[in-house]
């Protein structure tokens, strides 16, 4: 095996065993079939053991909650053995892992949490150089990989890591543990040292490790459970990457807390997703219906682009599959949801309304629209979720915008930075005291520091929304995201323009398929607005004046009545294909400006 010839690292440091060949632990201080007495594991133990926890969509291989508990115990035991056998040695240590979107990922993640260690999911899509940075920065004690990524993991080791990790390749779990292991829940102080670490996609600086303690993960999942009411009857179709908060907390930890079923289907392919959503409504199928979908706006856009091309019978079944009575919840987030996307989804789904929410790695989900359709307001991300405290701090005056003070002296809406606190907020940027210090501000009420999100919003009361129909938390003023303070708030003379607002207007034009609005330097005004767009080739070909192709002048004419002159893009660059986005559908605007405008 190639591992045996692996360069300069002593072989004795590596563990390479099948999952079934379990060695007795070297030293064991406590009985091994224990899980920490934490809400997540308490819930796991109480779920119906025969209820499906994880399903692999393509093979329809299914693992029950009974399997899951036992496999977590086994994986925890194995982790302990491989790292030396003493539970205390692993507490609070970073355990990096490379796993495909599967049962194995869920077992690995939960077994690390069950060991009171810090789970560090690595993205298999990242190049070795970036993974090395993450391993070195986090000083990871172990690197666990599923067979699929064994090669990648070996390449990573060959890159020469600062701290030589224990290396463990896990065989794919094809059958859930057959017998259930009696498990006891154990109170332990060590639980406060476990958690998860995710790396933020750095724009100017190197990525930062966001340390989310186990208590914050629990608070995030409990908050979502309360707001979105996951149930054991829910089947969530999981189509997201697993190195990001959205795919992990919203689509694994919370369903596990609730006892819902998670069906993995990755990588995302619109045709396969449509087939799956349609399956229960095609005559010969016995597939369970999908009740819960959470994704990013680009995923919904890609689904809708593929929809008209489906065979008529499949299309109608898919439409039934995403109708409100079947798909009880369809959520969008991680980037702004364009109103035309929301509207188009509603049109093809017999009236299902996408629920938008706002969140980030450092805080999980923070603000969300409500379950009641009247609480899913266009352009708004809703209300602070249960247990999340939010405030807006005026970006001009640095004053807290108190409820009732949303308008300035000229009757204009005041934009403020969203600041957050509460049990869901992360603990620190790993080994980066300066960044941690700068990310929080003291409060004057003694109730703890506020986290500075760097996102700007306005707040207003919206007609019939916020009556409490979706829960006590969903009441009062609603939040409207204006964008990142650093790139989306464009300053023109004394005026501020929200890039997201201009993008929304651009996307409402039939010729525009994609839009990213950026600020460019302007000698006269400080900054000017520029738009990068992708056009619908057919609709744009002759839509300009005198049957010419649609261009910047046509764009300005179309937006004249919708945008104030200073908000109007002064430049428009048309891209062929697509605007570059990361796996979560986000545009890195700093890179985009460099690439498109050479600045
Ligand atoms: P990440 O930590 O990678 O999840 O990125 C978090 C950032 O995504 C936030 O700070 C926002 O800028 C952005 N974001 C998340 N959800 C939304 C949303 N619904 N609308 C607009 N921006 C969002």
Examine the fold and report which residue of 141, 169, 193 is the final residue of a domain before the chain moves on.
Answer: 193
Examine the fold and report which residue of 129, 158, 193 is the final residue of a domain before the chain moves on.
Answer: 193
22 vs 9: CA distance, rounded Å:
24
- Confirm whether 16 is domain-assigned: yes
DSSP 182-226: P-EEE--GGGGG-EEEEE---SSSPP-EEEEEHHHHHHHHHHHHH
- Write the residue with the smallest CA distance to atom 12 of ligand 1: 484
- Confirm whether 494 is domain-assigned: yes
Query: Does 381 sit in the ligand 1 pocket, CB within 6 Å?
Result: yes
Given a cut of 90, is residue 180 above it in pLDDT?
A: no
Examine the fold and report which residue of 173, 193, 213 is the final residue of a domain before the chain moves on.
Answer: 193
Given a cut of 90, is residue 16 above it in pLDDT?
A: no
Task: Supply the range of the domain harboring residue 143.
Answer: 1-33+64-193
Q: How confident is the model at residue 177 (pLDDT cuts 50, 70, 90)?
A: confident
- Tell me if 307 sits within 8 A of 347, measured CB to CB: no
- The domain spanning residue 151 has which CATH number? 3.40.50.12780
- Confirm whether 119 is domain-assigned: yes
Count up the domains in the chain and report the number.
2
Mean pLDDT of the chain: 92
Q: Rounded to two decimals, what is the model's pTM? A: 0.92
Ligand 1 center from residue 584 Cα (angstroms):
10
- Write the residue with the smallest CA distance to atom 22 of ligand 1: 335
CB atoms within 10 A of CB 523: 6
Mutate to test the pocket of ligand 1, among 249, 360, 489 (most ligand atoms within 8 A of CB): 360
Q: How confident is the model at residue 228 (pLDDT cuts 50, 70, 90)?
A: very high
- Confirm whether 184 is domain-assigned: yes
Given a cut of 80, is residue 169 above it in pLDDT?
A: yes
- The domain spanning residue 527 has which CATH number? 3.30.300.30
Given a cut of 80, is residue 202 above it in pLDDT?
A: no
Query: Does 369 sit in the ligand 1 pocket, CB within 6 Å?
Result: no
Query: Does 331 sit in the ligand 1 pocket, CB within 6 Å?
Result: no
Q: How confident is the model at residue 181 (pLDDT cuts 50, 70, 90)?
A: confident
- Confirm whether 566 is domain-assigned: yes
- Confirm whether 565 is domain-assigned: yes
Mutate to test the pocket of ligand 1, among 121, 203, 334 (most ligand atoms within 8 A of CB): 334
Query: Does 417 sit in the ligand 1 pocket, CB within 6 Å?
Result: no
Given a cut of 70, is residue 1 above it in pLDDT?
A: no
- Write the residue with the smallest CA distance to atom 8 of ligand 1: 334
- Confirm whether 224 is domain-assigned: no
Q: How far is CA 221 from the centre of its chain?
A: 13
How far the first Cα of the chain sits from its last, in Å, is: 49
Mutate to test the pocket of ligand 1, among 197, 332, 455 (most ligand atoms within 8 A of CB): 455
- For residues 586-592, give the mean pLDDT: 93
Query: Does 333 sit in the ligand 1 pocket, CB within 6 Å?
Result: yes
State both tokens at 231.
């149930």
pLDDT tens, residue by residue, 118-153:
999 999 999 999 999 999 999 999 999 999 999 999
Q: How confident is the model at residue 24 (pLDDT cuts 50, 70, 90)?
A: very low
Q: Within 13 Å of residue 324, how many CA atoms lie on the same side as its CB?
A: 11
- Write the residue with the smallest CA distance to atom 15 of ligand 1: 334
Instruction: Compute the C-alpha angle 303/306/308, nearest 5°.
Output: 120
- Confirm whether 388 is domain-assigned: no
Query: Does 165 sit in the ligand 1 pocket, CB within 6 Å?
Result: no
């Amino acid at each position: 095996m190639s591992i045996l010839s692996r360069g300069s690292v002593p072989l004795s440091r590596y563990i390479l065993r099948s999952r079934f060949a379990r060695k007795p632990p070297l030293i064991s201080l406590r009985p091994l079939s224990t899980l920490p007495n934490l809400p997540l594991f308490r819930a796991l133990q109480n779920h119906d053991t025969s209820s499906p926890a994880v399903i692999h969509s393509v093979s329809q291989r299914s693992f029950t909650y009974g399997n899951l508990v036992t496999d977590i115990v086994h994986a925890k035991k194995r982790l302990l053995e491989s790292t030396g056998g003493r539970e205390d040695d692993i507490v609070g240590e970073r355990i990096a892992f490379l796993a495909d979107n599967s049962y194995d990922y869920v077992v690995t993640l939960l077994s690390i949490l069950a060991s009171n260690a810090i789970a560090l999911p690595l993205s298999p899509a990242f190049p070795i150089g970036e993974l090395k940075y993450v391993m070195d920065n986090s000083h990871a004690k172990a690197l666990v990989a599923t067979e699929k990524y064994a090669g990648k993991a070996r390449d990573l080791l060959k890159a020469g890591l600062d701290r030589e990790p224990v290396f463990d390749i896990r065989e794919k779990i094809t059958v859930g543990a057959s017998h259930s292991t009696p498990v006891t829940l154990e109170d332990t102080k060590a639980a406060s040292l476990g958690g998860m670490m995710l790396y933020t996609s750095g724009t100017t600086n190197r990525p930062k490790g966001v340390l989310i303690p186990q208590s914050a993960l629990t608070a995030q999942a409990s908050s979502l459970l309360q707001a979105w009411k996951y149930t054991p009857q829910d089947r969530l179709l999981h189509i997201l990457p697993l190195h990001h908060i959205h795919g992990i907390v919203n689509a694994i930890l919370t369903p596990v807390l609730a006892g819902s079923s998670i069906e993995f289907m990755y990588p995302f392919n619109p045709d396969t997703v449509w087939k799956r959503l349609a399956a229960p409504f095609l005559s010969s199928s016995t597939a369970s219906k999908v009740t819960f979908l959470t994704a990013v706006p680009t995923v919904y856009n890609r689904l809708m682009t593929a929809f008209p091309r489906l065979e008529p019978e499949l299309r109608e079944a898919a439409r039934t599959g995403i109708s409100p009575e079947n798909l009880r919840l369809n959520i969008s987030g991680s980037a702004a949801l364009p109103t035309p996307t929301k509207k188009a989804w509603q049109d093809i789904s017999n009236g299902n309304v996408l629920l938008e929410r706002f969140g980030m790695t450092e805080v999980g989900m923070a603000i969300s629209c409500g379950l009641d359709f009247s609480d899913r307001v266009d352009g708004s991300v809703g209300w602070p979720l249960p247990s999340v405290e939010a405030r807006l701090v005026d970006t001009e005056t640095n004053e807290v915008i108190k409820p009732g003070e949303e308008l300035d002296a000229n009757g204009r809406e005041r934009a403020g930075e969203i600041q957050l606190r509460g049990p869901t907020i992360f603990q620190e940027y790993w080994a980066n005291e300066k960044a941690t210090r700068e990310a929080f501000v003291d409060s004057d009420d003694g109730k703890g520091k506020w986290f500075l999100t760097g996102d700007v919003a306005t707040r207003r009361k919206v007609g019939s929304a916020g009556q409490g129909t979706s829960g006590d938390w969903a009441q009062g003023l609603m939040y409207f995201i204006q964008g990142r303070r650093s790139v989306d708030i464009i300053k023109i003379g004394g005026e501020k323009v929200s890039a997201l607002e201009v993008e929304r207007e651009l996307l409402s034009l039939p010729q525009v398929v994609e839009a990213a609005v950026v600020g460019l330097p302007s000698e006269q005004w400080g900054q000017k607005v520029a738009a990068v767009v992708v056009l619908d080739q057919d609709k744009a070909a002759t839509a300009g004046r005198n049957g010419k192709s649609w261009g910047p002048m046509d764009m300005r004419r179309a937006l004249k009545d919708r945008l104030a002159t200073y908000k109007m893009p002064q430049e428009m660059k048309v891209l062929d294909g697509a605007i570059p986005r990361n796996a979560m559908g986000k545009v890195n605007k700093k890179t985009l400006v460099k690439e498109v405008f050479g600045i």
